Amino acid sequence: MFLSFALLTYGFVPDEVQEDEIYGYRLTKRARLLQEETLYALALPMIKVFAHYFRMVPETDNFIERIRKNLRTELPRSGYMGAFTPNEFLGTCCTVGLGAFTFVLVFSTLFAESANIPIAIIFGIASLYFPFLSLSGAIANRLIEIDRRLPYTIDLMVLSMRAGLDFMTALDRVVTRGQQQNPDDPMIQEFGVVLQEMRVGTSKSDALLNLCERVDSDYLNSMVGAIIQSEKRGTPLATVLEIQIDTIRNKRTQKIEKAASEAAVKVLFPLMFIFAAVVVVVMGAMILKVKGSS
């Protein structure tokens, strides 16, 4: 097995692995992950090898290209999970599948004294989907964090605008300080993209609409709509943002209250099973005691 694995590795790993270019936040995140995550550092070379072969797939209308197109949208929404490019993410799926196959194969060989290859293949194929599940969870968690951080970030912008700064300068100050305090803050990351687009000539309305396309948040959509309407009507932007902050906080409070009121109903169903189990234990003990005494 070792000789076969060595020959497979020798034939599979190319002499020179071409890598996708990464820059900006993704580059700094990868450097941090390489220092903090040992498993990430060990798996990354294999991921790059698989990504090298996925990069050879032409960018035509095929199955791999459709997945890559979808990943180009979802990876930024997840905060660049693992600092992966689309090809590297596909390489991650192959690496996880290969790891699951190897683990099941070695486990069955050690404990069952025979390599269960069919089960190992099934586990390996099923594990190919695990990174996609993790990606969906990362997108959902990031959206929750954006909704939670949005009012506080807008508060800082309103304070800066009340002090006499315009929208772009206030946004620049908030993004600069946010990157120094917490570079992983998703709200700061998204506002940083908005700031970069405005600096290269994109209008404020278009940059904010692009933000709504990247982040599917109802709170953010309502706030951007109010900002665009204020520009058309000439309403002071700081006043509009203050109203939107109060509205967002009220909506979040109502949402939390609704979830709290539904919790009692949701807990009732598992409590019925717990109550039934308690009844079985008590009645069973009583029946055994009566039989023993008789």
Report the CATH number at residue 168. Answer: 1.20.81
Select from 103, 129, 144 the last residue of a domain: 144
Both 92 and 166 in one domain: the answer is no
State the chain's mean pLDDT as an integer: 83
State in Å, rounded, how far the first CA of the chain is from the last one.
Answer: 65
Per-residue model confidence (pLDDT) at position 244: 84
Both 65 and 3 in one domain: the answer is yes
> Average of pLDDT values for 40-69?
87
Both 172 and 140 in one domain: the answer is no
Whole-prediction pTM: 0.77
Residue 283 falls inside a structural domain: no
Both 86 and 182 in one domain: the answer is no
Per the structure, the complete domain to which residue 228 belongs is given by: 149-250
Give me the number of domains the chain comprises. Answer: 2
Residue 279 falls inside a structural domain: no
Both 81 and 199 in one domain: the answer is no
Per-residue model confidence (pLDDT) at position 22: 80
> Average of pLDDT values for 74-93?
88
Q: Give the HSE-up count for residue 242: Cα atoms under 13 Å, Cβ half-sphere.
A: 10
Both 168 and 134 in one domain: the answer is no
Residue 104 falls inside a structural domain: yes
Both 136 and 155 in one domain: the answer is no
Q: Among 5-9, 69-73, 290-294, which range has the highest average pLDDT?
A: 69-73
pLDDT digits (tens, 9 = 90+) for 233-269: 877 888 888 888 888 888 878 877 777 777 777 777 7
Both 93 and 213 in one domain: the answer is no
Residue 2 falls inside a structural domain: yes
pLDDT digits (tens, 9 = 90+) for 150-179: 888 888 888 888 888 888 888 888 888 888
- 259: burial class by Cβ within 10 Å (0-12, 13-18, 19+)? exposed
Residue 257 falls inside a structural domain: no
Both 99 and 235 in one domain: the answer is no
